[in-house]
Amino acid sequence: MIILFKDFNFTKYMMAEELWNTILSIRHKTPIDVIQLETAMMEYLKQLETEKHHKAAGYSAQHPRFLYASTSLPPKKELKHLTTHYWARYKQVQRLDRLIKERREAIQKVCTHDWEKDWSDRGHRSHYECKLCGKYR
């Protein structure tokens, strides 16, 4: 795994044209080829400012992959690297959670509701769930 980590940084200093040629040259479909192809494509897209264009079009950020196995990085750097991945994803999960709550509220506000008794509930009171939006009462 340490070798893989080093190998897959091979695109870091390549220019767009060189990256494109690398992408075109990967013709085999072994697992290593596929990983190298993705690495080259991601770097190529990065150079084309894919994040900036996607953000402007309303898309979420795309997070790079990280290795589950330990790397050849010094321990403190490896932990910092993993922590950076963690916080980027955590921030996105929180934003996604807020988005889901906002959308649910907006959808339930305009729904015409088609209530259905929830038979799974064994409590004292009857509960109903909307078949259209999932609202519970």
CB of 116 to Zn ion, least distance (A): 10
User: Is residue 93 classed as helix, strand or coil in its secondary structure?
Assistant: helix
CA distance 66 to 1: 12
CB of 117 to Zn ion, least distance (A): 15
CB of 128 to Zn ion, least distance (A): 10
In sequence order, the 6+-apart residues with CB closer than 8 A to the CB of 95 are: 60
User: Is residue 130 classed as helix, strand or coil in its secondary structure?
Assistant: strand
Of 30 and 112, CB closest to Zn ion? 112
Binding mask 106-135 for Zn ion (x = CB under 5 A): -----x-x----------------x-xx-x
CA distance 47 to 37: 15
Q: What angle do CA 119, 126, 111 make, to 5 degrees?
A: 85
CB of 98 to Zn ion, least distance (A): 21
> Is residue 93 a contact residue for Zn ion (CB under 5 A)?
no
Of 109 and 125, CB closest to Zn ion? 109
- Residues at the contact surface with Zn ion, assessed by CB under 5 A: 111, 113, 130, 132-133, 135
